[in-house]
Amino acid sequence: MSRFIVPPYLLAHLAEAESPRLHRAPRAARNGLLAMEAVDRNATPPVTRGVLGGGSVLERTVFDAEGTEELPGVRVRGEGEPATDDVAATEAYDALGATYALFDEVYGRSSIDGAGLPLDATVHYGVDYDNAFWNGERMVFGDGDGEVFQRFTASVSVIGHELTHGVTQYTANLTYQGQSGALNESVSDVFGALVEQHLFSQTVEQATWLIGEGLFTPEVQGRALRSMRSPGTAYDDDVLGKDPQPGHMDDYVETDDDNGGVHLNSGIPNRAFFLVAEALGGTAWDRAGRIWYDTLTGGSLSTEATFAQFAAATVLAATARYGADSDEARATSAGWAGVGVIPAP
């Protein structure tokens, strides 16, 4: 199954929108929903729990679909080659590098599979395509409809998010349904945010904690797709409606849509991570990020982990690395308590 940055409920809302400022966006959203099904049918099957380590170097290749939905498209730039005048291709190339840099320099991981997997991306996918996705082997970016969404390469956090689905695919392989699916989405938001923060050398206090900042056109009343600091506040627009993400278990959404609300309930573990990072201060990719990375790659996490089980695993990871009486272990426990999640025994 492919992993999309724009959730289906947002596209469904846009598909039914009626506004004098919209001409292409509703049709683009309807086409995007249909395209999700086609992309899923052709997605590369997940690879479970890959190897760790490796010493390969960064290898990026960017392709251009030229407005079609045929992959991979025409090759436009390889590793070390000069930039073209295509902004989207340059943004994709640079953000692939930024994602590789976080995992390599901070966590000692060679690419998303831990063994130097080449990073491929395709830009200019489809016409007015309102999404970006990881299909199991490559990143794919649409250019947006120009009325609600702009090009999807404009946000580093989006690219980091989607590539982290690949990291999860090769490690914990969290099932994309219910709470484990929401954790899958949250882990991608966590490391998508950390890719951006690492690239721009931002501290916890300096970071925006927004996922998808820069995707909306100026006409939209909203800053991003999601806020990790304050889930439910990323947008409030007459066309898109209000950001529906909960940030506490008291507001957990029970639904059969969106694979059991994976893009909705991910707001709860997202805020838990933010609270841990805020309590520890400094740069979030260091201690808080390392705890989450250890949890993801430790090998003991169930593929169908619940929030409570994941919380317990992060407390154990913090304890193993920093000690039971450490600030890190206490901050991790407090972070989950702050969103109403009690770690499982």
Question: Is 330 found in the same domain as 194?
Answer: yes
- How far apart CA 91 and CA 71 sit, in angstroms, is 19
Question: Is 321 found in the same domain as 195?
Answer: yes
Question: Is 307 found in the same domain as 243?
Answer: yes
Grade residue 22 by pLDDT with cuts at 50, 70 and 90. Answer: confident
Does some domain include residue 345?
Answer: no
Question: Is 258 found in the same domain as 134?
Answer: no
**Confidence (pLDDT) at 43:** 53
- How far apart CA 232 and CA 246 sit, in angstroms, is 6
Question: Is 312 found in the same domain as 185?
Answer: yes
The verdict on whether 162 is a catalytic residue reads yes
Question: Is 55 found in the same domain as 24?
Answer: yes
**Confidence (pLDDT) at 38:** 67
Q: What percent of the chain has pLDDT over 90?
A: 85
**Confidence (pLDDT) at 147:** 95
Last residue in a domain, options 145, 170, 195? 170
User: What are the pLDDT digits (tens) for 274-314?
Assistant: 999 999 999 999 999 999 999 999 998 999 999 999 999 99
Question: Is 194 found in the same domain as 48?
Answer: no
Residue 235 lies in domain: 178-337
Say how many C-beta atoms besides its own lie within 10 A of residue 300's C-beta: 10
Does some domain include residue 248?
Answer: yes
**Confidence (pLDDT) at 41:** 57
Q: State mean pLDDT over 175-184.
A: 97
Q: State mean pLDDT over 238-263.
A: 96
**Confidence (pLDDT) at 23:** 86
Checking if the pLDDT of 54 tops 60, the result is: no
Three-class DSSP category at 216: strand
Q: What is the CATH number of the domain that holds 279?
A: 1.10.390.10
Does some domain include residue 74?
Answer: yes
- How far apart CA 317 and CA 35 sit, in angstroms, is 39
**Confidence (pLDDT) at 13:** 86
Checking if the pLDDT of 254 tops 60, the result is: yes
Question: Is 293 found in the same domain as 238?
Answer: yes
Structurally, how many domains does the chain consist of? 2
Question: Is 129 found in the same domain as 34?
Answer: yes
Q: What percent of the chain has pLDDT over 70?
A: 94
Q: State mean pLDDT over 166-175.
A: 96
- How far apart CA 296 and CA 187 sit, in angstroms, is 8
Angle at 314 between CA 283 and CA 106, to 5 degrees: 35
- Show Cβ contacts of residue 70 under 8 Å, excluding neighbours closer than 6 positions: none
Does some domain include residue 344?
Answer: no
Question: Is 34 found in the same domain as 85?
Answer: yes
* Separate counts of helices (H) and strands (E) for the chain: 11, 10
Checking if the pLDDT of 47 tops 50, the result is: no
Beta-bridge partners for 141: 132
Question: Is 252 found in the same domain as 163?
Answer: no
Does some domain include residue 309?
Answer: yes
Query: What one-character-per-residue DSSP string does 176-214 give?
Result: SSHHHHHHHHHHHHHHHHHHHHHHTT--TTT---EESTT
CB 95 within 8 A of CB 152: no
Last residue in a domain, options 110, 136, 170? 170
Q: What is the rounded average pLDDT for all residues in the chain? A: 93
**Confidence (pLDDT) at 2:** 73
Identified catalytic residue from 91, 162, 196, 213: 162
287-297 vs 327-337: helix axis angle to the nearest 10? Answer: 80
Grade residue 144 by pLDDT with cuts at 50, 70 and 90. Answer: very high
Query: What one-character-per-residue DSSP string does 25-88 give?
Result: HHHHHHHHHHHHHHHHHTPPPPPPS------PPP-EEEEE-TTSS-SS-EEEEETTPPP-S-HH
**Confidence (pLDDT) at 35:** 79
The verdict on whether 16 is a catalytic residue reads no
Last residue in a domain, options 170, 190, 209? 170
Identified catalytic residue from 213, 263, 278, 328: 263
Cα(first)–Cα(last) distance of the chain, in Å?
A: 31
Does some domain include residue 200?
Answer: yes
Query: What one-character-per-residue DSSP string does 62-76 give?
Result: EEE-TTSS-SS-EEE
Q: Omega into 72 within 30° of 0, i.e. cis?
A: yes
Question: Is 285 found in the same domain as 150?
Answer: no
